Structure 1
């Protein structure tokens, strides 16, 4: 498999995460200290709270996605390691963040890293956790959201992007939802988008997730408009 990463994009956002979180944390502490030592300066702690909270949330967002060892780009690359060189995996190069292009078509991967039990019933997603745990996950930007809607929106954005560059030729884009946390337990019934754990992703692609081969002319057209990566 070949991999194409937008290295500058990843590096910039990793830098933002690495700086925004500690600066925001320090700002919160300074605001607290100011409120205790100089109670007459009531406005400064308020400003420090909002600035510090905002910076920490920005930092957490980028750390999750671009700094952690199990960030989406790294987890997907590891999960798909071993696919042959007919496949190209794109990270942050296209309208969808993670795209796999191969002889059997184009797929987008919507990556989720939540742990614990994850349920889907007819595209309605939930995690059976208490209110306190939900609040802590919200603070850490670790809430589940609606993976089905996210996956469909990414796939549609990529489909339109390809159609514009292929003079209206339609190439099916198939979305896939991938969970990467080792402790994720999936209970899925009635999802309109395939849901796979990362450890089973490569096997799934080779079996039930395998699509029919694209016509050779469409494969050649894709090769012309998409950059090629290093093995």
Structure 2
């Protein structure tokens, strides 16, 4: 699986840390309902309803790319055994509620010991923003105990072929173009996001020692009429905008 790389200057981690620090206020102002609980996706699928993490009442759980940690905070209120969360952005973490143990860190270099957690999860956090997905998944595997569960949601690979305009239903971008990077007038990286095809995800998970138990492709709820960034009722009626992968660490 080919991996993109930044040719010079600021790394993707540095660029995205700066971007999310500067965007934190706007993001929270525009998505207050989504950030009020544990939702897996803009389709507003909740962990309270789905219980994709299983019984975590006595589990050690890690949230990867938590933002202001609404998901980890909900777990803390719901009675999880222990929950920790981390994000690359200090400004996002500053907006977090008390409850989970919070750390500022990069998914490529997690500050946790080996086999420290029973469950790890990520709701649109971290994984879409790193070019080296194999190192990121190896880190997830490292901190999970054998048999541990790893659940994560990302933009559906099919959604990549459509432009950011939520009203557009015309495919304009190659499914095989895996890199989206923005640079300033000096050529410095300011934002980075990376696409994986379904095949890319399956291979990357297998190489990191995970077996794939399920993929959930949510339909857009009829009662949800709001547009959420690139997600909209018009698009959701025709194709999924989110993919949720349920996996387990081998061993």
Give TM-score scaled by structure 2 length. 0.28
Higher alpha-carbon Rg: 1
Q: Higher helix proportion, which one? A: 1
Give TM-score scaled by structure 1 length. 0.29
